[in-house]
Amino acid sequence: MLIEVSRGDDGTIFVQSATVPQPADTPFDKRIQPYDVKAPKILPQIVLSSEQYNRIIRILEQGIPVRLRMDVDVKFTDEQPGMNIIGEIPGTDLKDQIVMIGAHFDSWHAGTGATDNASGSSVCIEAMRILKALNLKPRRTIRIGLWSGEEEGLLGSRAYVAQHFARREGGWMNPHGVVTTKPGYEKFDVYFNDDNGTGKFRGVYMQGNAAVWPIFRSWLAPFAGMGCSTLTLENTGGTDHLSFDAVGLPGFQFIQDELDYEARTHHSNMDVYDRVQGDDLKQAAIIMASFAYDAAMRDEMFPRKPVEISVKGKSSK
């Protein structure tokens, strides 16, 4: 049995998955994860709050043996298929072209996943409800994707992109891998993601694509009074827009208020309903709906970043 101390205070315990011992320089995407069906057997691993852990250490420092009694009852199941949830509002004259919004639907186990990522999922579902309730007839099809397996490595969104749009040679994280496309690639317009907690939308990360600046600037204009007006050329990582960005498709994550996401709720036992800010989610849903509609109604498709693409064996930029 291994015991690990959690960062966090006031009874907050941050806990994700167990660790499989392997050389420290093993690249992230080559590491064996404990939930891999080929993973070796490992010792059970327990996370304690710092107050509990430190007390054990203090007693041991006095030379007094510590006895812990635990009821550990967990097991790995056989390999389970992940499931993405997909829905759409069909377009009209440009219905073959796809605008997507999305969020991951899975979470870690210590809490209920309220801010990571029921919040983002509910924003996307509410955005679709708003568009439907207004009975708008978008030119392009607006599709929602609620992804499985994000926490284990964007598994759901990567599989969806590979199945419908494109895959990158040597794995999605290989910056030099040529992109092989499917017919859906040319018809894909843009993807917007929500996965940074319950906080308000404050703007958009442009993922290094300067050509989208004037578009986002005009789309955000109506929302300055709601506190959403910032644009940054910066990349932001760690979530499902990367699955699109990795193959040269426009994919973006909103800038959000941090609130107590890192300090309290992200991957912790405090990721529960009480931490959700309802008014902030409403603001986000309105902006998400507006961005999806604006994208669906635009005359041109979204500008893309240059990427090396393989077309029937030949590659071109």
Pattern of binders to Zn ion over 171-210, x per CB under 5 A? ------------------------x---------------
Total residues in contact with Zn ion, by rule CB under 5 A: 3
Site residues for Zn ion, 41-70, by CB under 5 A, read none
* Residue found under tokens 């709720």: 265
- The CB-of-113 to Zn ion minimum distance in angstroms stands at 8
Applying CB under 5 A, the span of 88-96, 116-124, 202-210, 219-227 interacting with Zn ion comes to 116-124
Shortest approach of Zn ion to residue 124 CB, angstroms?
13
Pull the structure tokens for residue 181.
């496309």
Structure tokens at 214: 């004037």
In the complex, the smallest distance separating the C-beta of residue 295 from Zn ion, rounded to whole angstroms, is 23
Looking at beta carbons only, is 216 or 261 nearer to Zn ion?
261
Question: Looking at beta carbons only, is 180 or 256 nearer to Zn ion?
Answer: 256
Strand order in the sheet with 314-316: 166-168, 179-181, 309-311, 314-316
> Least distance from C-beta 107 to Zn ion, angstroms?
7
Q: Which stretch binds Zn ion (CB under 5 A): 23-31, 71-79, 110-118, 186-194?
A: 110-118
Name the minimum Å distance from CB 81 to Zn ion: 21
Cβ proximity to Zn ion: between 16 and 22 the closer is: 16
Distance CA 317, CA 310 (A): 9
156 or 250: CB nearest Zn ion: 156
Cis peptide before 209 (omega within 30 of 0): no
User: Which of positions 224-253 make contact with Zn ion (CB under 5 A)?
Assistant: none
Q: Which two tokens stand for residue 18?
A: 């167990």
Pairing of strands 45-48, 2-5: parallel
Spatial separation of the C-alpha atoms in residues 157 and 129, rounded to whole Å:
22
Burial class of residue 159 in the structure, from the number of CB atoms within 10 Å of its CB (0-12 exposed, 13-18 middle, 19+ buried): middle
* Spatial separation of the C-alpha atoms in residues 126 and 144, rounded to whole Å: 11
d(CA 276, CA 11): 18
Greatest alpha-carbon pair distance for the chain in Å reads: 77
From the list 13, 84, 108, 116, which residue makes contact with Zn ion (rule: CB under 5 A)?
Answer: 116
CB of 116 to Zn ion, least distance (A): 4
Please pick, from the candidates 6, 84, 117, 181, the single residue that binds Zn ion as defined by CB under 5 A. 117
Of 104 and 167, the one with the shorter C-beta distance to Zn ion is 104
Shortest Cβ 73–Zn ion spacing (Å): 27
CB closer to Zn ion, 197 vs 248: 197
As a whole number of Å, the end-to-end CA separation of the chain is 52
Whose Cβ is closer to Zn ion: residue 117's or residue 269's?
117
Collapsing DSSP states into helix, strand and coil, what is residue 254? Answer: strand
Give the amino acid at 310: S
Question: Smaller CB distance to Zn ion: residue 167 or 241?
Answer: 241
> Torsions phi, psi of 36, nearest 5?
-65, 135
Site of interaction with Zn ion (CB under 5 A): 116-117, 195
